[in-house]
Amino acid sequence: MAPQLAWIGLGNMGRGMCKNLVEKGNLDKPLILFNRTAKRADDLSQKLASGKTKVASTIADAVSTADIIFTCVGDDAAINETIDSALKGDVQGKLFVDCSTVHPSTTDGLSERITAKGAGFVAGPVFGAPAMAESGQLVCVLAGPQELVDKVKPYTKGVIGRANIEFGGLPCRKATTLKVIGNTMVLQMVEAVAEGHVIAETTGLGSERFHEFIEAMFPGPFVGYSTRMITGDYYKREEPLFAVDLARKDAGHALDMAKASGARMRGVEVVDEHLVTLKEHKGEKGDVAGIYGSVRLEAGLKFAN
């Protein structure tokens, strides 16, 4: 008999991951859903097949009958608050899987508090944009005791993701260390594409020609971000795909990790400066692709193309 699953956190990533759990996870019980904003849980439940989900009114309700609890929330404060609430009840024998992007030290703290209560913990952050979460094409990173990682794997590759990177038998912080470092590559990719488009415009080459080069040479995420820049999506969209505050959180974690280990990430420092400018112009609705607008301003161009 399959374990009872619960999912806490229904942001841009969580909604798609839940969809694939319901459709491809071979669940024999409804997936329990909880979100701080209850309407998101209700809307998702109504969108998915009838009888495949049920909405919990509190974190305690979500956790009490679940065997495996997935969490996917925005930042370190949110996951600490979520887990502290969950641990108020009896969690003996349960397994918590955190898919959030947080500092490795936060992961250490979660592991310590959860295991002290007699439950298990696996860090399970994912790589990929919301569209990849929707299509089940995420890259899942798993770290923790091997026997617990094995319990999570039936719901990762082939369900919510296309591949696993495993750190079975190693400290949970390995997964979030890789996740933070990996996210700096995304941030610096956006920076590189933005700078390329701006210099293409200021030299008279033209953004269209530069985009044509990206399509031919760097298919995939590079093309996606380039398209969002030349079409103006970077400043027009109402709901960010990768919000500026979350991007700054990731950059901050990376810079802190670098400093603590005696290294430096100069590229990430530049990205963070442009994220500050982005926040000033777009507020909390700013999307990471808006780095393009910040780079445009530095070149004497308007934020909007």
Hey, which residues does 83 pair with through a beta bridge? none
The DSSP secondary structure of 247-261, one letter per residue, reads: HHHHHHHHHHHHHHT
User: Residue type at 48?
Assistant: L
Total Cβ atoms within 10 A of residue 304: 13
3-class secondary-structure state, position 170? coil
What residues contact residue 82 under an 8 Å CB cut-off, 6+ apart? 8, 9, 59, 71, 73
Determine whether 179 is an active site residue: yes
Catalytic pick among 174, 179, 279, 282: 179
- If you compute the radius of gyration of the chain from its CA atoms, what whole number of angstroms results? 20
Structure tokens, 133: 């979460």
142: left (phi over 0), alpha (psi -120 to 50) or beta: beta
In angstroms, the CA 253 to CA 303 distance is: 27
Enter the DSSP assignment of 10. Answer: -
Neighbours of 100 (CB within 10 A): 26
Tokens, residue 73: 């929330």
The catalytic residue positions are: 179
